[in-house]
Every structure is written in structure tokens, then in C-alpha cells.
């Protein structure tokens, strides 16, 4: 995109933006929560819509001059309702965490009991994780988790729900590679007399395309982010279903009030417009084909990595992501993630179920296929990528020192710094990064062509 004005006013920032463009062009973006927005989405984000304040909702603004903004927001809302087949949508949340916080603000009181998936089992911070989070501090929390096989144990979830009777049950994940049984979650919530919030932030695009089952029939409220598998801007949406409105006819009003004045001020109108674009793009046959390929690619990548001896949580995937337990490789997720980045493959370190390591130096890595599939890559490329991942990890293992896992923090810090320096300058790592760059050139990234 032309950045002439930025270049003239702030050359330092201009150079950093161009460097980030180059990084995104030349590396394989495999963090499953990241993707490439289309050129149309990027254009919308840079429009004059960012200049306007618009507290309130269409037809009920607190500021003048919002006729055009009203139409843009209504367009975004209507498309959200059509795409997910719901009677209510709020497109104003700034991101996924504020969306979930607004839902809690709408229907819970401080001290109410909530129930969500444990972070180390693939849940999210906003699903009741300890008192370092808003959800864990202001509400009581009971957490369910996956079993030893890496799958959710729905019988155990039901047992916990009936024992503790939470006010809300959250079904949703950030690092769970299997299909979610929203119907079972809905039945459990009904039995326990709880609200059912389905957080589909990671799988929203797959749900919209019909590649993953929809929670709409079984949940009262659905939250989603508009980036990740949706390929839109960094925003979020709250949906209320027929089931939710049937439970409480004021639900839509409560959610609207929870956004403003409850937890936010003015919406980001440039983002609202970009959300409208991404929803229109998601209604196309091309998007359905893309979403199917995301899953195909993830399955092939999983099978290829297993051939190299990688341990996958739940032994595979049904969706867009893979979670790898590196304990059998004797390397932690921090070292693996840095080595892979220097090799041109960007993943994130991640805890695994029953992890004995810390969240900063966890036992696993999380990776996925949404962004590389947006570049047009297919099953053949997944096999090549699996080989690169295996080669990088083996090189990294050969450069580890015992001091990396030392209880002496200073000794461990120095060992990790030395590890990064050696890996960054390793000739074979550089060779792989060059090979990755060649593949990336063959498959240009949307919005960066």
C-alpha cells in the first residue's frame, strides 16, 4: 500500500512498517489466531471513518453527524445476522476479550459463579482464569479440563456443572484441535440452569463456512473475533440467538448497555466498515472453499509431523490448529518457537494439558493453517513445511545446553540468550529461511501483493 505521507512525516515509522511488510511476505505465518486481511479490509481501516465519534447505536447516537455511520453499522449488523443466522448482533466490541467482558457485565453480578475451560487445556484467559484476569477476579470460577487423551470429557463437564450450578457456562477454546459438541454443552447448561456462552473466536470462519458445527441452536450468546479464521480486521461481535432471546427478552438491550455505557465508549467506525466487508467476503463460495482447505491443510500437516515423531495433543486435529507437546523431543516451546522464527516459520509457544512448565517457558507450541492457506498453499506445501519444522527442531536440539533449564534464573537467562544467538547465525537455519522465502514468493500474501 502507498505510504507516501507516512514516509514524509515519520521516516522512522515508515521504515518499521515496511520491515513488517517484508517479514509478513517472507515468512510462514502459522500462529493460528493470525491471518491476512484482504486489501479491501485494509483500505477500510485507513479511511476517514476513524475521525468520527459515534457513541450509541444507529438512530440513537449521542453525537450529531452520524447518518452515514448509522448506515455502515446497520450494514455490518445485518450481515452478521445473516451470516450466522441470528436475530441480534452487536458489532462494536473492540476485540474478543472486551466482548466476553461485556457479556459477563450484562448477565452476571460480581461474585457469581462461571465455568470455563482451563487455560492449560486450551481455554482462554477470559473464561475464568485465576484472579490475574477480570473474569477470574470479579467472578467465582470453576474450570473444566481435557482428559489424558486430549479430548473434552463431557460427562465430567456435566458432573461439575450439576455439582456447582454456575450462572454461565462458556464453551470455547484457543488451543483445542477438535470439534466442539455445542449441543452437549447446551444440554448441560439447560440442566444446570445456566446461560450458555459459545466463544467461537478461533473457529468463526469455519462456522460461517459450514466447516465446523454452529453453536447458534444451542447457545444463548455467541462471541467471535473478526480476524483469525474470518480474515477481517481486529474486532469482535456479540450475537444473541433465538434461544437467548427466548430466555430473556431483554438480552439484546442488556448487551447493548454492557457495551455502552458499561465497558466501552465510541466504536471504531473504520473497523465497523471493515467488519462489514469481511462478512460480505465470508458469504462467497471462495470463502467456503478456503475454509475447507484450511482444515485439509491442518490434517495433512498433522499427519506429516506425526511421521517425524512429534506428539500432537489429541493425536491430530479437526480444525485449523495443532498443539504439539515437545516433551519427547527434550526441548521447550520457547526454544522451539525462536528457532522456527529464525527459520522463517512463525508459531507460538503454548502450554499443553497438565504442563509442568511455566506459561512463558511451556512444553509445547501451537501452530495452524489459516494464514498460509490464505496464500493459496495446499497439501503438497504442508508436507514440505512439516519437513522444515522437523529439521529446525533437530538443529535446535543440538544447540541446547543443560543450563537452559537451570533453576538459577541468571544462568538460565544467559543460556537462552546464547542459544538464540547460535540459532540465529546457524547456516542451516539460514538456508531453511531462504527456502521458506522462495515458497512465500510463489504464494503471495493477500493484501501484500
Rama region for 193: left / alpha / beta (φ>0; ψ in -120 to 50; rest): left
What spatial distance separates the first Cα and last Cα of the chain, rounded to whole Å? 9
What are 356's three cell numbers? 509442568
User: Per the residue annotation, which of 53, 151, 154, 361 is the catalytic one?
Assistant: 53
User: Per the residue annotation, which of 173, 223, 225, 241 is the catalytic one?
Assistant: 225
Rounded CA separation 107/258 (Å):
9
Segment holding 287, helix H or strand E: helix 285-307
- CB of 381 closer than 8 Å to CB of 439: yes
**Active-site annotation holds for 391:** no
CA 54 to chain CA centroid, nearest Å: 28
- CB of 209 closer than 8 Å to CB of 288: yes
Q: Residue 209 has what DSSP assignment?
A: T
Segment holding 59, helix H or strand E: none
User: Per the residue annotation, which of 74, 81, 140, 234 is the catalytic one?
Assistant: 234
**Active-site annotation holds for 53:** yes
**Active-site annotation holds for 55:** yes
User: Per the residue annotation, which of 29, 73, 158, 199 is the catalytic one?
Assistant: 199
User: Per the residue annotation, which of 43, 55, 391, 403 is the catalytic one?
Assistant: 55
CA 122 to chain CA centroid, nearest Å: 11
User: Per the residue annotation, which of 228, 329, 349, 357 is the catalytic one?
Assistant: 228
For 90, phi then psi, to 5°, come to -120, 120
Task: State the alpha helices, DSSP H only, in 142-203.
Answer: 154-164, 182-192
Cβ neighbours for 221, distance < 8 A, ≥ 6 positions apart: 103, 107, 195, 196, 197, 198, 238, 239, 240, 241, 244, 251, 255
**Active-site annotation holds for 234:** yes
Catalogue the active-site residues: 53, 55, 199, 225, 228, 234
Amino acid at each position: 500500500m502507498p505510504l507516501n505521507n507516512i514516509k514524509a512525516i515519520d521516516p522512522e515509522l515508515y521504515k518499521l512498517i515496511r520491515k513488517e511488510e517484508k517479514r509478513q511476505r517472507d515468512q510462514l505465518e502459522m500462529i493460528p489466531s493470525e491471518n491476512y486481511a484482504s486489501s479491501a479490509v485494509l483500505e477500510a481501516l485507513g479511511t476517514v471513518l476513524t475521525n468520527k465519534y459515534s457513541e450509541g447505536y444507529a438512530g440513537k447516537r449521542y453525537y450529531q453527524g452520524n447518518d452515514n455511520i448509522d448506515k455502515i453499522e446497520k450494514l455490518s449488523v445485518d450481515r452478521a445476522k445473516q451470516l450466522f443466522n441470528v436475530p441480534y448482533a452487536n458489532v462494536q466490541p473492540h476485540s474478543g476479550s472486551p466482548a466476553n467482558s461485556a457479556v459477563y457485565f450484562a448477565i452476571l453480578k460480581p461474585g457469581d459463579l462461571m465455568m470455563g475451560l482451563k487455560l492449560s487445556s486450551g481455554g482462554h484467559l477470559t473464561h475464568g482464569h485465576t484472579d490475574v484476569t477480570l473474569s477470574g477476579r470479579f467472578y467465582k470460577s470453576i474450570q473444566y479440563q481435557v482428559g489424558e487423551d486430549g479430548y473434552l470429557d463431557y460427562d465430567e463437564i456435566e458432573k461439575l456443572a450439576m455439582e456447582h450450578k454456575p450462572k454461565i457456562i462458556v464453551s470455547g477454546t484457543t488451543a483445542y484441535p477438535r470439534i466442539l459438541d455445542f449441543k452437549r454443552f447446551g444440554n448441560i447448561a439447560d440442566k444446570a440452569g445456566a446461560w450458555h456462552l459459545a466463544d467461537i473466536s478461533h473457529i468463526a470462519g469455519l462456522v460461517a463456512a459450514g466447516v465446523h458445527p454452529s453453536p447458534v441452536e444451542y447457545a444463548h450468546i455467541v462471541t467471535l473475533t473478526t480476524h483469525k479464521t474470518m480474515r477481517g480486521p481486529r474486532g469482535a461481535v456479540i450475537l444473541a440467538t433465538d434461544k437467548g432471546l427466548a430466555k430473556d427478552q431483554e438480552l439484546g438491550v442488556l448487551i447493548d448497555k454492557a457495551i455502552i455505557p458499561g465497558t466501552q465508549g465510541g466504536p471504531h467506525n473504520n473497523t465497523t466498515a471493515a467488519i462489514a466487508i469481511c462478512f460480505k467476503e465470508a458469504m462467497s463460495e471462495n470463502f467456503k472453499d478456503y475454509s475447507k482447505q484450511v482444515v485439509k491443510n491442518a490434517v495433512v500437516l498433522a499427519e506429516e509431523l506425526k511421521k517425524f515423531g512429534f506428539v500432537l495433543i489429541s493425536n491430530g486435529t479437526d480444525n485449523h490448529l495443532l498443539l504439539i507437546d515437545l516433551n519427547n523431543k527434550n526441548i521447550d516451546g520457547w526454544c522451539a518457537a525462536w528457532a522456527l522464527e529464525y527459520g522463517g516459520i512463525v508459531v507460538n509457544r503454548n502450554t499443553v494439558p497438565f504442563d509442568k512448565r511455566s506459561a512463558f517457558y511451556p512444553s509445547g507450541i501451537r501452530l495452524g493453517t489459516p494464514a498460509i492457506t490464505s496464500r493459496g498453499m495446499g497439501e503438497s506445501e504442508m508436507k514440505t513445511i512439516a519437513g522444515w519444522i522437523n529439521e529446525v527442531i533437530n538443529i535446535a536440539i543440538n544447540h541446547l545446553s543443560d543450563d537452559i533449564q537451570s533453576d538459577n534464573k541468571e544462568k538460565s537467562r544467559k543460556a537462552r540468550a546464547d542459544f538464540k544467538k547460535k540459532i540465529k547465525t546457524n547456516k542451516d537455519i539460514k538456508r531453511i529461511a531462504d527456502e521458506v522465502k522462495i515458497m512465500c514468493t510463489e504464494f503471495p500474501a493477500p493484501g501484500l501483493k
